A and B are shown apart, each in its own frame.
Chain A
């Protein structure tokens, strides 16, 4: 495939929907389940991951010629951990409340397999432009998934979205939704829905491809 502007754009889009890191690849489950009890937390975690992923993809892609392959994983981890520390201190200084809510899960971004995975599988083998677009797409997809989960859980669990009450003061909160089981339940149901849509899509395509008499059997 030629490196046209369209293919760069494609690189970005695939992360958001077709190869969504959470809904399709099922990566990065730890922050996914742990911090999505409200939309604000999900947004903060999504943006932090976005920063780390795009930053390290950029750097890894730039350095890919110089890093010997024997020490590549350690080098990637150093790069990722540096970005994580930067975002950790920045959040602590600027948004201490959010930092307190996210707690240990900010340092744990370092261990998010999504990020290391992109470095190893993509950024270290592609030009800076592609690497950054891929990172933007993947991080965007991750952010989208976090927000979807955080939104659902906050709406049901607290009757609010981004802290804005939706149902008035008499709302009966679904407490399980802001507890860990709610994370598993919501993620499971979203995955169910995602697979169902994909299946339907595939079925429709198969039907178009198959000759008519096979279809009737």
Chain B
């Protein structure tokens, strides 16, 4: 049924000439070198052309996530956690000690957006969550990265009633997962029916994040520098 369909219209592949000249190694090397060179130029060109958009996309994504987990925030700053407190992070990018601070319209500090990650049911779940140090509450949670089972585990971000568990959640003594519909205390989270493991993973990851960050964070971030000062 599947005879090779390839040799039909043309016949250049038939019967190679009896004497084949072996091309010199220089010819082989130069062919590959030229191909590599042209390819390299093309790749650099496309990289340069798209770099700006890609960086902007990533920055916008992060900004949107921070605004989402910290309601009422309209400005964000990168903080760098160091041994003796926090400072603004001036340099590009981030490392494992980078967190985000959110400020409202008036430029007053609102809270922190803290990243945390840990194993879920399938793969690592990466989370960004909003934390208000004054009231010691989690006020929002966004899943940045997850490969949880579609239809079940992915409810940790698709099921809005689960996500809303984290809108006003006390972290003391620690966040606990309970069976759906039994929520009674401020530090409890309703698990998703059929996705208990993923729900528990989210809570565990946030608890781990709290353990890591909270005792090192000052209650009132760093005041926003005066308007007009460089970003």
Contacts and interface: CB of A to CB of B under 8 A. Distances in A.
A207 B216 CA distance: 84
A37 interface: yes
* B contact patch SS: helix
Given A68-B23, A85-B46, A19 B2 contact: yes
A126 B50 contact: no
Interface string B122-149: 0000000000000000000000000001
Contacts of B9: 1, 3, 7, 11, 126, 130
Interface string B149-186: 11110000000000000000000000000000000000
B215 interface: no
A92 interface: yes
A24 interface: yes
Nearest to B42: A82
A18 B47 CA distance: 39
B43 interface: yes
Interface stretch (B25-33, B80-88, B201-209): B25-33
A93 B1 contact: no
B61 interface: yes
Contact of A130 (B4, B10, B31, B61): B10
Contact of B46 (A24, A78, A89, A178): A89
A90 interface: yes
B197 to A, nearest CB: 15
B97 interface: no
Contact of A126 (B1, B10, B54, B151): B10
A25 interface: yes
B12 interface: yes
A68 B20 CA distance: 11
B85 to A, nearest CB: 35
A79 interface: yes
Contacts of B49: 89
19 contacts: A24-B1, A66-B31, A68-B27, A68-B28, A70-B23, A71-B28, A71-B31, A75-B32, A85-B42, A86-B43, A93-B53, A96-B54, A121-B6, A126-B9, A126-B10, A130-B10, A157-B150, A178-B150, A179-B149
Contact of A79 (B27, B35, B43): B35
Contacts, number: 92
Interface string A67-94: 1101100110011011001100110111
B193 interface: no
A25 B32 contact: no
A81 B54 CA distance: 20
A125 B31 contact: no
A25 B2 CA distance: 7
Given A85-B43, A85-B46, A92-B54, A175 B31 contact: no
B150 A86 contact: no
B33 to A, nearest CB: 10
B49, B57, B149 — which one has the most chain A CB atoms within 10 A of its CB?
B57
B150 A78 contact: no
B5 interface: yes
